[in-house]
Amino acid sequence: MGQASDACTKEERQENVGNILIRLILLKLRFNYSILRRRTLQMQQYSDLLIDALLDEGFTVDEAKRIIQMREAYEEQQATQETNHHRFVRWLIEHGRLSDWQV
């Protein structure tokens, strides 16, 4: 009978651990959502400030939005190009075409 109660306590422990893990996951999801929401608000505020600055320079709202979109597209393109450059360098190293010892 001692073994049956031990098995039960192991099952209870496993269930408790599972419940704790679920709570931690839910807590992390709520935390991540909170951070994401805050960042979204901050990005919107930043975008509004950029639009205001461009309006002060004489651009229309549509022109300001287009300029911001073009800037974001350019930054994304630059990040992609860097990534491609790093992939190429990694390939060179992996295939013995480039090393720290080459002069």
Q: Domain-by-domain residue ranges, the chain?
A: 1-58, 60-103
Q: Between vectors from CA 33 to CA 67 and to CA 17, what angle results, nearest 5°?
A: 155
**Which pLDDT score, from 0 to 100, does residue 18 have?**
79
d(CA 15, CA 7): 12
pLDDT at 7 > cutoff 80: no
pLDDT digits (tens, 9 = 90+) for 44-95: 888 899 999 999 999 999 999 999 999 989 988 888 887 888 889 889 988 8
**Which pLDDT score, from 0 to 100, does residue 3 have?**
53
26 contacts 40 by C-beta, under 8 angstroms: no
68 contacts 47 by C-beta, under 8 angstroms: yes
